Every structure is written in C-alpha cells, then in structure tokens.
Amino acid sequence: MKFNALPAYLLRRHLALGESLIVLSSLLLLSFGILLAPATAQTPPTEDAQIRFRFRNSEAEGAPDAATPAAGKVRCRTTVKPNGGAYYTNTFTKGSNQGFVNVSAAFSPYRCRISFPSRDYAASSFTTETFQPAEINLNETYVFARNDAFRVRLIDSNGVPVTGIPARLTLTIAKNAENTLSSLGVRPALVAKGIVDDTIGGIQFDLVGNEIYRLKSLPGAGSSLPGIAGTAGGTSTESLKAKRAAFIAPTANKYFVEQTSFVIPFPEADGGSTPQTQDIVLHEADSSVEVTLFDTDGITAIDGYVRLVSRANLQDESTDNDVRLEVESAVAAGSSIILPAISGRTFQITAGPETPSDTSLPPSPVLVTPTTGENVVVNLSLKKVNYQLLVKPLPVTSEGETLDPTTFEYLACFAYNARGERQFEDTPDSEGMFPLPLRVAKRSSRERWRIGCHGIPSTSETSTEYFGEVNYLTEKDKNRDTLRVTMPPKGTSYAEQVETVAADEDSDITFPDSQSTLEVPEEALGTSGNINISIKTATGWRVDPDAVPVDAWQIEPRTSEGTLITSPSSPIEYCAPVPTEALATYGVTEESVVIASYDELEERWIPEETVLVGPEGNRFVCASLGHFSVWGTLLDVMYYLKTTVPTNAKVKVKDDKKKTKKSSCLVKWEAPDTLFEDVLSYIVRYTTRGNRTSCDDFDTTELKERTVDGATKTTVKTKKSCCAEVILVDGDIPTSRLYSKKKQK
C-alpha cells in the first residue's frame, strides 16, 4: 500500500498498527487473487474500511461482469478537504474479476482511477459514497479496449501533406461535450499524446471508439520563434519566422495554423481499413509585415510588443478568408520585428511598450493589406498625453446604498477610446481619485472616451464584486476634468481556493463558482509529488469592445515545496458556462464568447482559441491553457458587430460657405445599437469621380478611405459630386453605395 501527504499526527497515531494491516492485506489477497503493492515506510491511518470494485465489459451488451484483460493499478484519492493530497493505491492482475483497496473511512468519499500500463486499455473512474469503518463500499468500473485507429494529418490549403513539422498533439476525452455516440453513461479516463512524424506529416493513435475527444496541437521541439529582428524603420530583407499560429518547414515555407483545438466525434470503427482522419490545415504565408515601435519622439526605437490579427470574414465562404489569423511577438529596442502575413487579408496591427507609462499612450491600431511577396513596413510611435481625468469610483449596493470606496481592498479605473488608446490606474491619489492621463487629438473639440472602475471590498474572503462603465466627453480647450463612476454589483468575488492534486494522475478541478472547471492531464504539472493549485477571483484587468470580462480567475499551481509552475507540459483544459445573462445585456450571441488570458504588463486581454460544447441550454466554452496567469471568460462584442451595417447612411453635397470652387460632401450615419457606440471606428470609402450610374460599379480598390473614430459623420472636399459607403473598422458588410451631386443654380 502507498499513502501520501498525511498530517503528521495521523502518522504517529497509527505507527503501531502497521503489522496488522499487512496481515489483513494478505488475507484479502488470498480471497480475491489480487496482487498487493508492498507496504511503504510511511504507515497510513487506520485502514478500517475497503473500497471494492468489479470490472464490467463496456463492449458487451448490457456490460456484464468480466475478467480484466490486463494487469493494472487502482488509486483512490480522498475528496475531503484539506486532505485532498491523500491517496491509497493497490494493483490487480490480469484475469481478475474484481479489485479492492483498503482505506480509512474517515477520509471518505474517494475518487478512484484505474490505469493500465500497457496503454491498450482504459477504464472509467468512479467516486465512492461516504462510508463507515468496517464497511465494504461496492463500486464498478468499465473497461474499454483502445482498438480503433485515429489519424491526424498536417496538410496545406490544397490538401497536400506538409512535412518537416514535429507538432505535438494531445487527445483527451471532451468531458464537457455530451457523448451522443454511446448510451453506456460512463466514459473512459484517457489521455493520448504524440509527436507528428515529420517525414510524412501525420500520426496515428489507438483510441476508444464511440467517444467525443478534444484534440490540441502545439509546436514541437525546434519550432521557430515568433519573428526575427530587422533594422529600425524597416530596411531588413531577412527571411520570416512565424508564431503560435505558425510553423516553419525545412523548405523555409511559413504556415499559419487554421485551427489548433478540435472537438471530435469518434464513432466505433466499422471494420474498414481506413482510419478516421482529422486534418489540421496550414495556410502558407506569402508576405510579411515589418513593425518598429518608437517613443514619442518618433526617433528612438523601444522595447515592446507587436500583434497582427486578421479576423475571419463571416460573410466569405472561401477557405482563405473564413479563418482567423493571428501572430504576435516582442520587438527589441533599436530593431524592427518581421512577422508573416497572407496576401489579400487585412491585418490589424497593434503595438505597445513593454511597460506602460503615465506620460504616453500606445499608438492607435493600423490596418494593412499586403500583396503577394510584399513586406509592408509600419512605423508606430507612442503618443504624449495632454489631458488629466480624475475619476472617483462610487460603489452602490443593489438597494441603492453608497459604500465607502476607501474601505475596499481593491479598486482600479481604466479608460479607452475609438482610436484604440487606453489607460489604467489602480493607485488613488491622496483624495481617493484615480488619475487617468489621456490624449485629446483636437483640443478645440470634445472627444469620446469610455471610463470604467472595478472594485472588491475584500480579496481575502468571498464578497461582492462591483463594476461600472460610463461614456465621457472631454471638455473643450481644457486639459483637466473630474468624473464620478457609479459601480453597481457585478457578481461574487471568490476568495482563494487551493486544490491539491497528484502530478502523475489526471484531475478535475471545480472552481469556487461551482461551474468553471480545469481538466489537468497526468504529468502536465510534473511527474511526481503533489501540486497545489490556487484559484481566486482576479483583479487588475481592464475592458475593451473586443474584451468584456464576464469573470476572471487568477490560476497559480505550485509544487509542494512552493515553487511556482508557469506553464504545463501538456495543455490543460479550462471550461466555463456560457454567460446567458451577459449575452442579453450586451446584445450578442454565444459565438462572441471567448476565453482569454490577461497580460498585466501590456494591460490587455489575449484571446485563446475557444470552442463551444454541450447541449442547448447547458453550453460551455472551453480552451487549452498553455501558461498560468489571469484567465477569463470574455464577450468579444466586436465579433458580433462585424456583421452589423451602420444604418440610415446619407450623403449630401453642399456649396462651401467660403464661396470657393470646392464643395463639401457630408457623409453621416447611425451607430449600431451597442453600449460601445461611442468608441467604435468606421471607414468611409469614397470617390468624387463618376456619376450616379458608375457609383455602384467602382471597385473597392478605386475608392479613397478615411477612418472616423468615435463619430458618425465626416466631410470630404469635392467639385460637384460624391459617391460613398461606410463600414465598421474590421467589419464585413458596408452600407449601400450612396451618391449625391451638387445642385445646379
């Protein structure tokens, strides 16, 4: 027998009982024909009860009792806190009809897992009831044969296998996805890992049929770096390297991965010779974007980050445009960074400093559409702040009572606008105000910002979370203002919960909200010993139209010695319920729900590839965590707005008031119905050539473009006519073409 992580007083109390336990185990061995693991130096507390289980054949009609087809091991871990690290083990031999493990009734109930070293079989786990001393707790486990082949291929967009890429693949049971392929009601505990054979671009696994799996792919050993350094300002001609999304083959071709996470129904094989195959499609990069980040002087290239995103075009069914492309890298001081791109796709480029500043703001995002073979050079500069907004947070209970914010253990305020500029502050001044340094492009006009605050009365115990946002207009010809932000209750803030798991077995962890979960594969956090996983409500985050947090969690695993684990060796699955109330509040669909991590240095959310699982009415979003930090469930409102068309668009040409030969063309429209209408950006495409008939015939590339931030009208100069359309920045659908002509006098 083996026992782990017992309190010292229990060890001392039971030292005298060790010999009798060994005798008891030997008697049971004779009764059930079970090979018993040898006793260890650490003697557990009184083994005064027994967990007994019988084997069932999952493939036979009615799942009758059966002899186990291979030798294996059972491990039963207590679910009683704070003894979550305590477990007992035993072994069984091939041909056994049942097995057992002796345990302490005081630590019941237990979660028990059956494992087969041969990897030819898998079994279902079970959780016992609470039982008393001298009681035999009866259970059953189903044995599954892993005799159905499953193949994974790496192919390009033309279906040709891609070789030379040693991608790492992990297959796990998709526990949050309903198994509609089997009526058995139980599922195997199974984790399959492998590295793609880079000589053929594929790999084959032996799995249990009639199951739902999650497949996750990651770069293997020798994968390329996110990008390479060029010369500041964009004079490098060096070759590209790619990121997450991207692998580099021996031929120096660069590929974006269309999808890295899949939920796969896997029916039982029908006896045919061809195994079920899942293709991972790689899109070859044929162009590049080279970015340099400068300080406010426009001369000094600084340390920072660069991110390129091309959103999927939801209205385009072509395989080249209906997938999201994303690549990201650090950029070093004195250098540019070269990142891969695909021609014909529009990429939004965002960048920012390695460490945020109170005297500057990150540059506004820019859009580029590379052509084949083109290296698009983009030089971005930080912007000086010129406007100080002092924010006073006002937490208010659901009964309307105003609370004293100075008693809160956590408070922070943030700001963002349509230009993509943002600011964050979690330290108040001596008056309890939060200073947010902003930038106003035109001091003579009022500019729109969105301001929010987030607060928690107590971070050490469960309490109420408060959050509020308001639209704000800067004051004309001023450089300072104050604002109050009311913060109604947002939900529950949960205190720290610590779960202890064994590194060498898979574990399921339920969050303090009793809904969100982590699925930790065996050896994802180490090969032996116990791991303490801390989970609590996160603080320090901010909001954007494409990142509205519904909940956020700080996830920190540590070894039993206290060493922080920053990333797992295998993907860990995080799942959270689809927030139906929040969907209604923001007027979006469940496709807008994403899981993301928060980068505290860059003060921004980084979305992870997210999948929807579960039946109607019980839907979850899931993603694989590749590192540990703040993770949350977000609403990407901009994803929903991509298909929204600005309404009531109008174009009108009028004489210039200065009586010049030029006239003005006023283009105006109404914003989509959203809480974020004041921080949306639009592109007005226009031309002053042609007539009413030719207006609809112009190709988009023949039109000039103007970006309009946070407003719903703009004016362009013309001689006599104007043809225009309006589309949201990064949107899919423009308004109809509109035409206006100067009236003849």
Could you report the per-residue pLDDT of 140-181, keeping only the tens digit for each?
A: 999 999 999 999 999 988 899 988 887 889 898 988 888 989
- Mean pLDDT confidence for 352-371: 88
- Mean pLDDT confidence for 244-271: 70
Across 35-39, 257-261, 697-701, least confident range: 35-39
Q: Which residue has the higher pLDDT, 153 or 745?
A: 153
Q: Which residue has the higher pLDDT, 666 or 25?
A: 666
Could you report the per-residue pLDDT of 419-474, keeping only the tens digit for each?
A: 888 899 999 999 999 999 999 988 888 999 999 999 999 999 999 999 999 999 99
pLDDT at 235 (0 to 100): 58
pLDDT at 236 (0 to 100): 46
pLDDT band, very low/low/confident/very high, at 46 (cuts 50, 70, 90): confident
Q: What number of other Cβ atoms are within 10 A of residue 358's Cβ? A: 12
Q: Which two tokens stand for residue 701?
A: 């590339």
DSSP conformation class of 354: S
Nearest to 426 by CA among 395, 454, 459, 387: 454
Could you report the per-residue pLDDT of 82-118, keeping only the tens digit for each?
A: 665 678 999 999 999 999 999 999 999 998 999 998 8
**Strand-strand pairing, 375-381 and 287-294:** parallel
DSSP conformation class of 743: P
**Sequence-ordered list of residues with C-beta below 8 angstroms from that of 442, at least 6 positions apart, any chain:** none
For the sheet with 681-687, list strands across it.
704-709, 681-687, 721-728, 738-741
Q: How far apart are CA 40 and CA 22, in angstroms?
A: 11
Write the secondary structure of 360-386 as one string of H (helix), E (strand) and C (coil): EECCCCEEECCCCCCEEEEEEECEECC
Sign of CA dihedral 660, 661, 667, 668: positive
What residues are paired with 54 via a beta bridge?
98, 140
Write the secondary structure of 568-601 as one string of H (helix), E (strand) and C (coil): CCCCEEEEEECCHHHHHHHCCCHHHEEEEEEECC
Read off φ and ψ for residue 220, nearest 5 degrees. -95, -175
Could you report the per-residue pLDDT of 668-699, keeping only the tens digit for each?
A: 999 988 888 888 999 999 999 889 999 999 99
Instruction: Calculate the alpha carbon distances from 124 to 28, 42, 88 in Å.
Output: 24, 29, 18
Could you report the per-residue pLDDT of 566-586, keeping only the tens digit for each?
A: 999 888 999 999 999 999 888
Q: How far apart are CA 509 and CA 520, in angstroms?
A: 8
